[in-house]
Structure 1
C-alpha cells in the first residue's frame, strides 16, 4: 500500500538476473485475528540467518555490498525466506550516487486495517571491506525471525506491518532515501511509526535509542562547558544536532523503549547524531521514528570503533552476541504491541 503505485517492482528469475517488471501490489490477504499476540523472537533462529549471510559473503569475495554478487545473493536469501514463510516479497530497484543499482525488498504482514502501517527497516548491504554480519546482517536476521514468527502464530496485528530490507545504506543511505522521496503526503500520514534496527548483535553493548527530546544535546553542552571548551568550538556541532528534524510522535516511541529497557534493567544512551547516519535519516520529521542500535565504542589506536571490527573484514559471526539479538528482538515486539 505504501509503495508508490507509479513505481514498478522487478522480480528476480531463478538465475538471479533481473527479469520482467510488474506493478507493486502488496498482499492484502487477512489472517485470523488473535486477541493476545504470543510472538516471541528466538536468538538461535537469528544466528542461523547470520550463518547463512556469512557463507554468502565468503562465497562472493568476502562482502555483501550493493550491486555485488554477495549483495544480490543476500537479496535472494531474503526473498527465499519470505517464500518459506508463505509471504510475497516485493522489490523496488533504484540507482545510488555511484550509479550502482540496488534493490529494496518489502514484505507485508497484513493487519486488522490496511489504513495504517508500522514500517520496520534494516539495511542488508555491507561495506566492501567485509561481510557485515553485525552491521547489519544482525538487523536483517531479526526482521526475518519476526516475519516467520508472525506468520507461524497467525497473528493479525492491529496495524499492517511492512518489513523493509534496505539496500545501499553503506553508500549514501540510498535505498531508504529513494523510497521516502517517492511517498505522497497521504502515504506518509499512514505510517504510524518507522523503527530502524541496526547493529543489534554487538557484544557488551551500549544500547542506543533515538533521543526525541534532544536532552542528550543539552547534557553534552553542559559537559563541554564544565571542561572549559570554548563555545565557538562546540556550538556549530550542537546547533546541527538540535536542527535534526523531529515529529510529534517521536517522543511516544522513545518513552516506550525507555520503559522497556528500564524494566529489563538495561542502561540506555539516548542519541541524536546516529539518526542522520542510518536509514532513519530520510524519515526524520515526516513520520514518527525510533531506532535500536548497539554500540561498544572504543579507541583502536587513533581510530574510534563503534563496535568491534566495525566496517572491517573481521565483522563476522564471532563478533555477535545472541543475548544482544534477543534483547533487541524483545524490544521490537514490545513496540509492536504498544504502538496505538
Structure 2
C-alpha cells in the first residue's frame, strides 16, 4: 500500500443498512484460512529465493505473477498478462476473467501483488493477493455461475505510485470502462494488530454506497463492528474512481496507531501500529493475524456471491 495519511469515521455494524439485510446470513463459501496461509508461505518462498522481495522489476515479482497465473489457468480462467514500463523496467498486471456471466456487466476485484524492495510484502499485499486467488478458485470449485461478468486483477508497481492499475484503466476504451460496473480493492487484509475498515462511499462515484453496504453487511452478520475509512488515492481503486466506476474494499490498517477505543472494540494493542512491519523486512509470514485474514477473505467471497449472482 502506497504511504499516505488516512482518516477514519466510526460506523456501528449495520448502521447504514437498516431492514434485515445487515444481519442476513453471509453469501458465498467459507474460504479456508489454512489454504490462505499456505499460499502466503508460497509467496514467502518466492521472495526468499529471489533476493528477499517481490518488488517491481525484480525476479520475485514475475515469479509471483506466474505462480498465481498457473493456478487460475488450471481452474479454467481466461488470463492475460499486461505489460507496462516504469523506471525503465517492464512491469506486469495479471487479469483473469471467469468464463460465464454478462461481459457487458462486469464486477471486478483486485489488489496489488508487488512488495517494496525492503521485504517480502506478505501482509502488504500478499494477504489481499492470496485472498483474491482463493475466492477466484472457489468460483470454480463450488460451481457458482454468476450472472454478471467476473474479473480479478493483480496489479504491478503499486508501491511506485499505483502504476499498474492506472495503466490498465487508462488502456481501456470508453466502452470497456462502461462495462465495469464496480471495482473492489483489497490491500492489506491480515494486519497483525488489525482494524476492520471498510472503504467509505463518501466522495466516491455513484453506486459506491451499495458496495460499502454489502461489505458492512457481511461484518455485521458475523458480529464484527467496522469503521469507514477514507482511503483517498492510497491504493489501486483510485484510477477506477477517477473513471467514475463505483469502488469499495476492506483494509486492516498500516502505519496508523490503534486507539484505546479501537482496541476495546477489536482487541489487539492500543498505542501500537496496526502493522509495525509496514514496508519493512519483517513483513513476513510471521506478520499476519489469521483471524483478520480469514474474515476478510470471507468478506470478499460474500461480495462476489452477492454482487455477481
* 1:169 aligned partner: 158
* 1:247 aligned partner: 205
88, 93, 97: which one aligns with 1:99:
88
Give the drift of 1:266: 1.6
110, 114, 136: which one aligns with 2:125:
136
- Spell out structure 1 runs of 4+ moving beyond 4 A: none
Q: d(CA) in 1 for partners of 2:283 and 2:28?
A: 33
TM-score (norm 1): 0.74
Give the drift of 1:38: 5.4
| 2:277 paired with 1:309 | yes
* 1:277 aligned partner: 234
Greater RCO, CA 8 A, separation 6+:
2
* 1:148 aligned partner: 137
Structure showing greater radius of gyration is: 1
Give the drift of 1:86: 3.2
| 2:293 paired with 1:336 | no
283, 286, 291: which one aligns with 1:318:
286
Root-mean-square deviation (Å): 2.0
Give the drift of 1:321: 2.0
* 2:59 aligned partner: 69
Say which is worse superposed, 147-156 or 53-62, in terms of deviation.
147-156
Kindly tell me: are residues 44 and 275 of structure 1, through their superposed partners in 2, closer, same or farther at Cα, counting changes over 3 Å?
farther
Give the drift of 1:136: 0.3
Q: d(CA) in 2 for partners of 1:204 and 1:305?
A: 7
Q: d(CA) in 1 for partners of 2:46 and 2:125?
A: 14
> Is the Cα–Cα contact under 8 Å of residues 46 and 60 in structure 2 kept in the other structure?
yes
Q: d(CA) in 2 for partners of 1:327 and 1:38?
A: 13
- List runs of 5+ in structure 1 lacking aligned partners: 1-36, 214-244
Give the drift of 1:84: 2.9
TM-score (norm 2): 0.82
> Is the Cα–Cα contact under 8 Å of residues 78 and 98 in structure 2 kept in the other structure?
no
Give the drift of 1:339: 2.1
247, 256, 267: which one aligns with 1:289:
247
40, 51, 56: which one aligns with 1:50:
40
How is 1:162-201 mapped onto 2 (pairs within 5 angstroms)? 162-201=151-190
